[in-house]
Chains A and B, each alone.
Chain A
Amino acid sequence: MTDEYRDPDLESIRAEWQPPPPSAEFQARMLSAYEREFGRVPWWRRRWPVTAAVAAAAVVLIAMLISRPSGAARYQPVSQPHFVILSAGEHP
């Protein structure tokens, strides 16, 4: 069974064909088009992995600050204080 959609002559021509190189303005036009499309998007949306990492770090930092015990929580009054007369050579 032959492939009536394949023309051997046309195949050899296509194999030798090289696409033309992009024009000199191609890159500038692409960048310009990208800028038009996404230029107004804030950087934190364009670089969302970085944004997510910074946000996660901020959340962790805030959580640590909130959960850190205050001076009142860390320290408690001693059960019975004592007057220690340092000048007399006494010590705690």
Chain B
Amino acid sequence: MSFVKATRWIMMILCAARILHAQAMRNDTFHLDNGAVVFYQTYSQADLTDRARMFGTTTASGNTIQRNMTDGTNRTWLGFRLQITRLPGDPIRFRISMSPLGNWGFFGQGAPPREIQNGDRVLLDVLQEPGTGRKIYDTFQVGIGVDMQMMPMAKTIPQMPMAGAAIHLQNPSLLRGTESLGKNLPSSDGASISVQVPGQGRFSFSSRPEPGFRMEAIAEGNRLMFVAGNAQYSVECSSPILDTPGAWYLWVRRE
């Protein structure tokens, strides 16, 4: 093998390792005493050697989820507890609140409590890189007897697009998991667009919040990944979906 070929292979391996690293994410599923199922996801853009520290640990006990993060000497530097309380009556609702975990480090102020609906997906900003302002998020979905699904994994932490940013679906092909549901579907452009898939219904995407839409889609490069019901879908296009590089949240609705 020539030197040039060897160098090319090494570069390919390094790039692949970088991509795999950048896709770091951990999923946990918890069954709480109140009957709720929690899909808990932690994203990390940290270096490979730091990933375990950035993820920390996530455990559940009773109706509580404990999160803690440790440094290189196994010292916990951040710990918090999420209490998920089922509220009485119908429809099913929950109250989520946060409190310190033991005497470990905590935020300046805890997150204000919120009430959520059955099946809601919640995002919690946890860490911030002072130099860049980038944040590390946890997301979790809480529900009883409803369709639930982990959010798809992007190569980078998704950001919010400019409201009304143009979405481009050029020669889209729709997949559910690895199963192809339609190829070379009609192309469309706009801040709010739809794709009609024979036998599957209409999938609508928007770069701004709209009634009936859920922010459960991520556009990255030529790929649009989203959750609908209890399935993960993806749309593969022939050109970038948004004009700006990176991963971007979009709103999705299936009819």
Contacts and interface: CB of A to CB of B under 8 A. Distances in A.
Interface stretch (A14-22, A28-36, A38-46, A82-90): A82-90
A85 B105 contact: no
B53 A81 contact: no
Interface in A50-73: 68, 70-72
Interface string A72-83: 101111111111
Interface of B: 44, 46-47, 50-51, 53-54, 69-72, 77-78, 96, 98, 105-114, 116-117, 119-130, 135-137, 139, 160, 209-210, 213-216, 249, 251
A85 B115 CA distance: 9
A6 interface: no
Interface residues of A, number: 23
A92 B53 contact: no
17 contacts: A70-B50, A70-B53, A71-B44, A72-B53, A76-B128, A76-B130, A78-B125, A78-B127, A78-B135, A79-B108, A80-B107, A80-B109, A83-B96, A83-B114, A85-B116, A86-B123, A92-B137
Contacts of A81: 98, 107, 110-111, 124-126
B129 A80 contact: no
B121 A77 contact: no
Contacts of A70: 50, 53, 71-72
A47 interface: no
Please provide the 6 A-B residue pairs with the shortest distance between their CB atoms, ordered closest to farther: A89-B209, A71-B50, A75-B127, A72-B71, A79-B108, A80-B109
A14 B46 CA distance: 80
A72 to B, nearest CB: 4
Contacts of B160: 91-92
Nearest to A75: B127
A74 B129 contact: yes
Nearest to B77: A72
Contact of B213 (A74, A80, A85, A89): A89
A17 to B, nearest CB: 51
Nearest to B106: A77
A89 to B, nearest CB: 3
B22 to A, nearest CB: 14
Contacts of B47: 68, 71
Contact of A86 (B50, B128, B139, B210): B139
A67 to B, nearest CB: 13
Contacts of B128: 75-78
B46 A87 contact: no
Contacts of A79: 107-109
Contacts of B108: 77, 79-80
A86 B106 CA distance: 24
Given A89-B213, A89-B215, A89-B251, A75 B129 contact: yes
